[in-house]
Amino acid sequence: MRQNDLPLSKKTDDCKGIVWYNRNERCGQGRDDFPAWAAFTTDARKGAGLMKKIIPVIVAIVLILIIGAVGIGAKLLEKYSYSKERADLTEYFDVQGENDVPIILQDERIEEHAKIFDNRCYFDIATVHKYFNDRFYEDKAAQLLVYAMPHGFWTVGIGTINFSDFGADFEEAGMALDYVVSRYEDGVLYIEADFVQRYSNFTYELFTEPNRMQVYTEGGERLTAPILKDTQVRYQGGIKSDILTDVSGGDTVVVLDEMETWTKVKTQDSIIGYVENKLLGEQETETTSPPPANMPSDYESITRDHKINLGWHVIGGVGGNDTLESVASQTKGLNVISPTWFTLTDNEGAFSSFASADYVERAHAMGLEVWALIGNVNEESADVDMYELLSRTSSRWNLIRNLIATAQEYDLDGINIDFENISLDAGEPFIQFIRELSVPCRKYGIVLSVDNYVPMDHTDHYDRAEQGVVADYVIIMGYDEHYNGSKEAGSVASINFVEKGIENTVAEVPANKVINALPFYTRLWETKGTSVSSQAVGMEMAREYVSNHDIAIRWDEVTCQNYGEFQSGESFCQVWLEDADSIRVKLNIMEKYEIGGVAAWRLGFETADVWDVIEDYMSGS
């Protein structure tokens, strides 16, 4: 074989060593022996080198693209996929222990919780009062739960099943229940939910896992919608929000708030969350019935079919009864007289009395009803603790027994309660006293009226709204806008003060039960430096004061009263007169609100011409 026949890839000759492809050229052979092959092999060699450099780059780029695509895909998947995280419903409902029961009232979860004791559900008394019924009364001293109804009341020992039912004549009829109606837990009074419901207007349903309670206190219209297919209710409106619960296609939910893509709903087991709009069917309006009316409402009132015209007759002793004819001599249209006969004397329900059967007979002969007043502002009452007296059921009932017995003994037509300066803590016992007193008054036909200050925030605890239910008349003491001790001089009863008092009272009390009391007195004011003093005088004495000091009187449009002033040395003296002119304007306001009548403090302080304008009011002219 010739050397030229050796494989081209590797041949040996006298040209040193191994040569590749171009041996002939290097050994001096002609350059044109293998021109095509040489060119081909040279290009292939160069291309192979280039590919060795490019392939890793390409691989790297591809890997980067793949990794990027995977990353983008993962992010897109994360962004558009639905969270499978589930919320902790115990935390969501804020369940505080095994016996804790959160409350959903209507369509909102409230801050108050119920409790489970001995497999029964209980509300604390503050929750009962706030949402269901404020007529349950806790006697802390005697550990009694008391409830007054229109025609009787009952008591049950706290922590026991001993139930006593009392009628208006206070005759006991015992009964027992098979569960503890009320109990103390950590110093808080709880009342069993079914028992509360027995006297209140609400329904409820209990759920478990976790504990919760759905409560409805009213019915009405609401929107509902069907769930179109199985889905989840989420904590908030968004696919990444935690799942609260699962709902199935065909379930119905209550629609609470519709947004652009999500809707707030409440499930059949009272879980409130969000569902996508696309998974809700067509909304429908559903009408729900109100809860059964279990709360007693048959409080028949002993109101008259005519306006009341009452005058208070101040009697400081038994001899004062002889002044009946004199104080009533110039009156016109007067139909009720209220002698100030009774004054509280101790914390057990006792009171002093100037009552006279002869006085009642004479008043009846004059065509007057007698609504005797019992008060707490005399010196005899100085040591009476109104909270101590009224908070204890025993002393409260003792007072009621004494009043009813006295009213029957003297053939009284009514009782007028004038308890003033009631402290905030005594407010609840006070209204409980009025509830309970109304029971025998209703039974025996005794009119029950209650005196009240002109409504102010600091007297809200007198609870005029409840008075308007259980009492027959709510009397506004429409005076003492400025009083002895005021830091500045002013009117006893400006027209704005009077009207605001009437307006605010009829907002809570039926107008036909409201009586506005007028002042038959005026205050004479003296300001000396920073010292302000006054004295209350009757209308006739006020006239004499104006005349004796030659005071120029002018009509004041702001107060709607005749006003006068003068300087006497260092003293600046002022008077806002109560007279026929000011009384007429007040009566016009009373006519505007169509209230139940007028009262006057006090008989004997007025001038005769006042009765002419009162008579016009009574006749409607």
What is the residue-wise DSSP string for 357-371?
HHHHHHHHHTT-EEE
Q: Are strands 220-226 and 284-288 parallel, antiparallel or unpaired?
A: antiparallel
| Angle made by CA atoms 391, 392, 398, in degrees to the nearest 5 | 115
For residue 306, give Cα distances in angstroms to 244, 309, 596, 619, 620. Answer: 62, 9, 8, 10, 11
**pLDDT 10s digits, 432-453:** 999 999 999 999 999 999 999 9
548, exposed or middle or buried, with CB in 10 Å at 0-12, 13-18, 19+?
A: exposed
Report the 10 Å Cβ neighbour count for 67.
10
Give the Cα separation of 284 and 495 in Å (integer). Answer: 52
Beta bridge partners of 473: 449
**The model's pTM:** 0.86
Give the Cα separation of 434 and 466 in Å (integer). Answer: 9
Amino acid at residue number 425? D
Residue bearing tokens 């003491």: 477
Intra-chain end-to-end CA distance of the chain, in Å: 154
Helix H or strand E encompassing 18 = strand 18-19
User: What is the chain's Cα-based Rg?
Assistant: 46
Go through 253-289 and write b for each residue having 16 or more CB atoms within 10 A of its CB, e for each that does not. Answer: bbbbeeeeebbbbbbeebbbbbbbeebbeeeeeeeee
Q: List the structure tokens of 593.
A: 């609100």
Helix (H), strand (E), coil (C) string for 180-211: CCEEEECCEEEEEHHHHHHCCCCEEEEECCCC
For residue 257, give Cα distances in angstroms to 221, 251, 286. Answer: 14, 18, 16
Q: Which of 397, 355, 349, 400 is nearest to 376 (CA)?
A: 349
Torsion of CA 579, 580, 585, 589, to 10 degrees: 100
Secondary structure of residue 347 in the 3-state scheme: coil
Q: Which of 565, 574, 567 is nearest to 490 (CA)?
A: 574
Give the Cα separation of 129 and 196 in Å (integer). Answer: 10
In contact, 564 and 542? CB cutoff 8 Å: no
Map out the domains of the chain with their CATH numbers.
Answer: 3-33 (no CATH), 84-229+279-298 (no CATH), 308-619 (3.20.20.80)
CA 243 remoteness from chain centre: 34
Give the Cα separation of 71 and 78 in Å (integer). Answer: 10
Enumerate residues 6+ apart whose C-beta is below 8 A from 271: 89, 233, 244, 245
Helix H or strand E encompassing 112 = strand 108-117
Q: Which of 294, 245, 303 is nearest to 87 (CA)?
A: 245
Q: Which of 100, 110, 158, 159 is nearest to 132 (CA)?
A: 110
Secondary structure of residue 78 in the 3-state scheme: helix
pLDDT attached to residue 595: 98
Give the Cα separation of 230 and 10 in Å (integer). Answer: 77
Report the 10 Å Cβ neighbour count for 377.
14
Give the Cα separation of 151 and 443 in Å (integer). Answer: 7
In contact, 169 and 401? CB cutoff 8 Å: no
Amino acid at residue number 319? G
Reported in sequence order, the residue ranges of 227-319 that DSSP labels E, i.e. its strands, are 231-234, 243-247, 252-258, 262-266, 272-276, 284-288, 308-313
pLDDT attached to residue 3: 45
Secondary structure of residue 86 in the 3-state scheme: strand
Helix (H), strand (E), coil (C) string for 384-441: CCHHHHHHCHHHHHHHHHHHHHHHHHCCCCEEEEECCCCCHHHHHHHHHHHHHHHHHH
Q: List the structure tokens of 120.
A: 């029964």
In contact, 577 and 553? CB cutoff 8 Å: yes
**pLDDT 10s digits, 478-534:** 999 999 999 999 999 999 999 999 999 999 999 999 999 999 999 999 999 999 999
Helix (H), strand (E), coil (C) string for 522-547: EEEEEEECCEEEEEEEEHHHHHHHHH
Beta bridge partners of 286: 222
Q: Which of 123, 139, 424, 413 is nearest to 153 (CA)?
A: 139
In contact, 102 and 94? CB cutoff 8 Å: yes
Those residues of the chain that have pLDDT short of 50 are: 1-32, 37, 168-174
Q: List the structure tokens of 350.
A: 């006792």
Length of the chain: 621
Residue bearing tokens 């050397």: 3
Secondary structure of residue 618 in the 3-state scheme: helix
pLDDT attached to residue 180: 94
